[in-house]
Each structure stands twice: as C-alpha cells, then as structure tokens.
Amino acid sequence: QLQLQESGPGLVKPSETLSLSCTVSGGSVARSSHYWAWTRQPPGKGLEWIATIHYTGATDYSPSLKSRVTMSMDTSRNQFSLKLTSVTAADTAFYYCASIGGIPNWGRGALVTVSS
Amino acid sequence: KFMLNQPQSVSESPGKTVTISCTRTSGSIASNYVLWFQQRPGSSPTIVIYEDSQRYFGVPDRFSGSLDTSSNSASLTISGLKTEDEADYYCQSYDGNNWVFGGGTKLTVL
C-alpha cells in the first residue's frame, strides 16, 4: 500500500508563497495508472480539492484557485509538490496529498497557517 | 459541473442502522466513482468506501456503500452503530479530472 507524507513550513506570511511537498513510499509516482492530488480543509470547514497531476505532467486545477496554484512532480525524489502564491488568511488549512488510481491513499495532512 | 448534496446532520441510537445520502445535482451518479470519508473530531479524514462500494483497509463490514440511480444518489449505510462511529462523513466524486466533495454530514450517535 502506498504511503504519502506531506512536508513544508507550517507558517507562511500573507502575500507570500505556500510550498508543500508530498513524499510517496511503497511505489513510484511515475505510475501511468495513478494520479496525484492536493486537497485542503480550513479548520472547522469542509474539504476542497486543489489540484491533480499525472506523471506525464498533465495537471488540472480547481477553477477557484487556478490563477495561484502550480503542481509539479519530481520523479527522482518520488515526490510531488504544491505552490500557492499570494496567500491570505483564507488559505489557512490542513493540506492533504492523495493518490488516485486503484486503491486511493491519503496523507495525514499538514497544517499551514497564514499569519504575519 | 455538478454538486454533491448531503444532509447537514443525522442522529441515531447505538445498535441501530443509519444511512447518509449524497445526491448528485446533474449527470448520473453512476458516471464516476464515489468515495466516502470519515473524520472523527480532531483527526484527519480517512477513507471508508471507494469505488462506490469497496470497503477500505480495516473498515468493518458494518459500513457499506451503494448507488441509487433512481434518486441519483450514493449512500453510506452504517449498521450496528457504535459511539465511535460519531464523526463527520464526506462523499466525493469526480467531474472529469476535477474532484467534487459533498458538504459533509455530522453523525451523532446517542
């Protein structure tokens, strides 16, 4: 079974860029059958999909975040990453990475707080 | 583009059976797989059902997922309710490569 682990700064200043990585173990991110995704959940609120990437590099972004989001993959590190620019307090959330294709897997999440 | 509508809350007594619905607003519920997540207070979401009706690793057979094309909805049924089942439950499906989440249902077991 795949295991996914989010990592990155837990505190980001307003207007700066949020950067997170997801390290995959138990399998390769370069699987043609798999897609990789980021979701988030503001404290006390529901789940929101952010972006998806395939190992070919093809990406899909949430329309509401598309102008600020970039998702990428590093097959040499078996990781994929998320960048969210111009963050505000509204971007404070638990961020989860996930895999789709066959049996899905989610990481345990990383809390990112946007505050000066 | 579609939405997934869930009741805000449901409640039932221990030992009973509860069903949580997830209604797709447009397009067929059978067009794309549905997943169900459980989120206990203070914890991360965990998958309970994937591919409409497949139980995830370690999920007891008290949990089951199904589709009803007549109401264009998916359902999560939990039988033999236990107090530990008290949690928020979210459904999720796909719109092409985009993900769509339901708003979540708070299950109270009292």
pLDDT of residue B96: 86
Chain A positions in Cβ-Cβ contact with residue B95 (cut-off 8 Å): none
Chain A positions in Cβ-Cβ contact with residue B99 (cut-off 8 Å): 37, 39, 49, 52
Tell me which of A33, A48, A49, A96 to substitute to probe the interface with B (most B C-beta atoms closer than 10 Å): A49
CA B48 to chain centre: 8
pLDDT of residue A1: 84
Strand partners, B90: B37
**Under-50 pLDDT residues of chain A:** none
Instruction: Give the list of residues 6+ apart from residue B22 with CB closer than 8 angstroms, or none.
Output: B4, B5, B6, B34, B36, B73, B74, B75, B76, B91, B102
Tell me: pLDDT of B11 over 80. yes
Where does the pLDDT of residue B104 fall: very low under 50, low under 70, confident under 90, or very high at 90 and above?
very high
pLDDT of residue B97: 83
What the block records as the tokens of B7 is 């009741």
Q: Does B8 contact A at CB distance below 8 Å?
A: no
- Rounded Cα distance between A49 and B49, Å, is 18
Where does the pLDDT of residue B63 fall: very low under 50, low under 70, confident under 90, or very high at 90 and above?
very high
pLDDT of residue A56: 87
pLDDT of residue A6: 98
Among chain B residues, CA nearest to A105: B47
Question: In whole angstroms, how large is the CA radius of gyration of chain B?
Answer: 13
**What are the tens digits of pLDDT across the range A40-64?**
999 999 999 999 999 888 999 999 9
CA distances (Å), B99 to each of A1, A36, A82, in order? Answer: 22, 12, 16
pLDDT of residue B1: 87
pLDDT of residue B109: 97
SS3 content of chain B, % helix, strand, coil (to 5): 5, 50, 45
pLDDT of residue A57: 87
CA angle B74, B101, A30 (to 5 degrees): 105
Mean pLDDT, chain B, rounded, equals 97
Question: Largest Cα–Cα distance in chain B?
Answer: 39
Strand bridging mode B105-109 / B9-12: parallel
Instruction: Give the list of residues 6+ apart from residue B95 with CB closer than 8 angstroms, or none.
Output: B1, B2, B27, B32
Among chain B residues, CA nearest to A54: B97
Tell me: pLDDT of B71 over 80. yes
pLDDT of residue B90: 98
Average pLDDT over residues B58-77: 98
Average pLDDT over residues B75-101: 96
Task: Indicate the residue of A1, A46, A109 with minimum beta-carbon distance to B90.
Answer: A46
Average pLDDT over residues B21-29: 97
- Rounded Cα distance between A63 and B101, Å, is 14
